[in-house]
Amino acid sequence: MTKSPKIDILAFGPHPDDVELGCGGTLFKLKKLGYHTGIVDLTAGEMGSRGTVAQRYKEAENSSRILKVDYRSNLKMPDGNIELNSRNREKIIRLIRQLRPILLFAPYHDDRHPDHIHTSQLVTESWFYAGVKKILPKIPAHRPFRIIYYMAKYEFTPSFVVDISQEFPTKFKALQAYKSQFYNPDWPGEQTFISSQWFMESVEFRARHFGWMAGVKYGEPFWIKEAMAIDDPVPIFSRKII
């Protein structure tokens, strides 16, 4: 995959497949709208019960191709030990300044998995310090306008829901690219929580639930810390609810 010198939307996940689960439909929609999209995995998921690192890299590559992302990289932090330290912050700051995205996506700060919590904190801190000129002063500072937080295990009241009714089949196909992780009756290894058929059904249940809340077929929920300023509320609030 060719690395783009400029990415508009950059999504961070602790492990390969987390971004696809949380905001894969939205990334695909933004790509269709003409934005350049990218994914950064903090770890290779080497602590997972199923799949090798090599397999997970290949699965991430296949998933990226399905979602048509312009850029994907892996920061190779240790799975199960994503630390809040200056070394890890600098890795993310350098990437933000190199790619100069408009928006960041990151996991919501409250979650069952400690790696998800630490990723949220680490990306949030790096986002702020990426705009501080005296940190890594040889690289021009750049702070994206917003961080948008996607849902993992624990639910929250969304700030907004993105309509992914047209994009959901592609999101689901991108998840199916992770053959070692999700439901795959041909996989010889042990079964896990996320490899069950029930888990993959729950992905659709959640998208249908939040889509129903927003008046569309499928939706992805997001949370932001700041209030949103809207120039013209009519196009947003006058759309027909199904």
Residue 13 has pLDDT above 60, yes or no: yes
Give the C-alpha separation, 220 to 56, whole Å: 24
Q: Is the pLDDT of residue 211 over 60?
A: yes
Which residue in 4, 11, 144, 16 sits closest to 71, CA to CA?
4
Helices (H), strands (E): how many in the chain? Answer: 7, 7
Average pLDDT over residues 34-39: 97
Helix (H) or strand (E) holding 150: strand 146-150
When comparing pLDDT for 198 and 178, which is higher? Answer: 178
Amino acid (one-letter) located at 112: R
CATH number of the structural domain spanning residue 177: 3.40.50.10320
| Residue 15 within any structural domain of the chain | yes
Instruction: Between 184 and 113, name the one with better pLDDT.
Output: 113
Answer whether 144's CB lies under 8 Å from 52's CB: no
The 10s digit of each residue's pLDDT in 115-156 is: 999 999 999 999 999 999 999 999 999 999 999 999 999 999
Determine contact, residues 233/181, Cβ cutoff 8 Å: no
pLDDT at 197 over 70: yes
- The tally of domains found in the chain comes to 1
CA distances from 82 to 77, 78, 89 (A): 6, 6, 11
Q: How confident is the model at residue 241 (pLDDT cuts 50, 70, 90)?
A: low
Tell me what the mean pLDDT of segment 31-44 comes to: 97
Residue 242 lies in a domain: no
Give the model's pLDDT for residue 52: 86
Does residue 2 sit within a domain? Answer: no
Place of tokens 């497949």: 17
Per the CB < 8 A criterion, the answer to whether 196 and 50 are in contact is no
The tens digit of pLDDT for each residue in 213-222 reads 999 999 999 9
Segment among 14-23, 28-37, 46-55 with least mean pLDDT: 46-55
pLDDT at 180: 83
**Secondary structure of the chain: what % helix, strand, coil (to 5)?**
40, 15, 50
Residue 26 covered by a domain: yes
Nearest-angstrom CA–CA distance, 226 and 185:
44
**4 found inside a domain:** no
The pTM for the full model equals: 0.93
Element (H, E) at 88: helix 86-99
Please name the residue that has the structure tokens 């799949």: 51
- Residues of the chain above pLDDT 90, percent: 79
**pLDDT on residue 5:** 61
Give residue 103's domain range.
9-237
- pLDDT beyond 50 at 108: yes
pLDDT tens for 199-209 read 889 999 999 99
Pairwise CA distance, residues 166 & 189, whole Å? 34
> Would you say residue 128 lies in a domain?
yes
Please indicate, yes or no, if residue 54 is contained in any of the structural domains: yes
**50-84 pLDDT, tens digit each:** 778 999 999 999 999 999 999 999 999 999 999 99
For residue 29, give the 3-state DSSP assignment. Answer: helix
Q: At 101, list the tokens.
A: 């995205």
On whether residue 152 sits in a domain, the answer given is yes
Which amino acid type is present at position 132?
V
The pLDDT assigned to 2 comes to: 44
